[in-house]
Structure 1
């Protein structure tokens, strides 16, 4: 095979490789928010990144979306999100009634953002609002007095918008991947760190799940007023919801562990002895490590006074012989 052929095959492989979500959005002519909503709704499918980064989009998927019927006009209409005023107009009801229906959980938001006053703005899928208004089952909710149970809930301060959004968001995340560790990370992303630490006690598993968690919301850095509002919306706070998420995370972890273990650092290799040296395991044991240490040599005996010489220290014999030879 020639070098030109190898180069051409490498270029073709790189051209067909999955692309980042931002690049896919540009090639499809979608704004960032439109693309993210299309992914959440399953209109655009993503794949895991080979190196563990943010999920990507294959070339085949981009071509499939382009070839779909009515792209882009009809396709864009299916992902159009509207706020309270436009949503009420689509359903031909007042904004007050629309807000009551959303707070009571009859209509589920698809996304949210914070305006410049840090107020939460909920958005709803226009297609779903139309279907809700057209259904005869919901006719009594669009006119006349609301049922007593709904009025009691609203008077008690019930607001299910955030909880319903979390449920929808979790379902969207779980649909995006079949990998058990990614699915466990999707569930864990809706729990606070304390709950996660209680369930995932292994630090390496916890770090791996944290790395696989969905990309955080860009609006509002942590520990800022906006960030705390977003954290409150995206973190489960209802006891029933928390129990459901904890149970699903426990089951998901069991399935993930059965599939493969979480990555761990490679064990440090044992050092190899230098050529000609004796390995420590075969060396002579020292006095401290030996179970039967050799006795220490006796300390030199101090010279004792000689009782026959008036108490003078006894001189070594060798020294006396040398002095005699010098004086002879």
Structure 2
């Protein structure tokens, strides 16, 4: 007998994907586009309400209609879809007129961008004048100067999706911290424990599947903000979100050390400044380590 589910029940991501008859890539796009709602179940963990799965399964022409909404195309298929050359399609994308929804790194460590097929069709329908003839002068000039908006457009789209899912202001701040990366975040958030809490809440900016050939530098160059305007905007949004988050509740801190005799009690900021380096072992004896290495070398 099949189990009876309630509307309050939630499903794990893999189970929800199977119920919706989507492959992994299609399911990731569905989550990113908020085709189905998810709920937080812990730091960095989410599940799908069963009612959301039921809603999508009840749609007409399921699962074909859902698959059509989350279908992606590369530059070759995208250009064929709207009847233009691949070179023209790439120029429109680099100019920021068509925003990618996913990406992966190929065996040559080059980023391959993927676009929502519905976005490509909509662009062709709304901008028929850009499909033929010379491109606008300002777009040609920007492309000649090396402008490429694809990574920035993807990051903005990804951040918007995560912000829709953020449970509170701390969750919003974690999205901007993830976009900025550790170094830029440390300049904006001096408190060690706040940065640790933001790392716990970070949503992750995964690509659409980077394969075994991708290297860390390729990933970081794609997922971290790199344009000065983008970085400045992310820092401002992080500062604003933190202001609201701190008003709601403080980030988790260990117990503060006792006040010295006759002195004021240490503040949270002081405790953060005195916090040990997570990679430092206070019980480690460096002299003992060096003696051990010398003994090992003598034996060899």
Tell me, yes or no, whether TM beats 0.5: yes
Deviations 1:266-300 (A, max 9, x none): 4689xxxxxxxxxxxxxxxxxxxxxxxxxxxxxxx
Larger Rg: 1
What residue number does 1:110 align with? 101
The one of 29, 34, 38 aligned to 1:37: 29
Aligned residue among 48, 60, 71 for 1:57: 48
Q: Which has the higher contact order (CA 8 A, sep 6+)?
A: 2
- SS at 2:114 equivalent: strand
What's the Cα RMSD here? 2.4
For the structure 1 residues 80 and 186, does the alpha-carbon distance in structure 2 shift closer, same or farther, using more than 3 Å as the test?
same
Are the aligned partners of 2:178 and 2:204 in contact in 1 as well (CA < 8 Å)? no
Q: Does 1:193 align with 2:186?
A: no
Please point out which of 144, 149, 152 is paired with 1:163: 152
Checking the alignment, whether the CA contact within 8 Å between 1:69 and 1:75 is kept in structure 2 is no
Whether the aligned pair in 2 keeps the contact of 1:220 and 1:227 (CA below 8 Å) is no
Structure 2 contact 158–205 (Cα < 8 Å) conserved = no
Per-residue deviation, residues 60-106 of structure 1 (Å, max 9, x unmatched): 22222212333210111011000001100111101011011001111
1:265 aligns with 2:257: no
Alignment pair present for 1:94 and 2:60: no
| Unpaired segments ≥5 residues, structure 1 | 1-10, 270-328
**Is residue 152 from structure 1 mapped to residue 159 from structure 2 by the alignment?**
no
TM-score (norm 1): 0.72
TM-score (norm 2): 0.79
1:140-159 deviation per Cα after TM superposition (whole angstroms, max 9, x unaligned): 21111112111111111111
1:290 aligns to what? none
| Pair 1:52–1:132, CA change in 2 (3 A) | same
Note the residue ranges of structure 2 that are not aligned, 5 or more in a row: 259-300
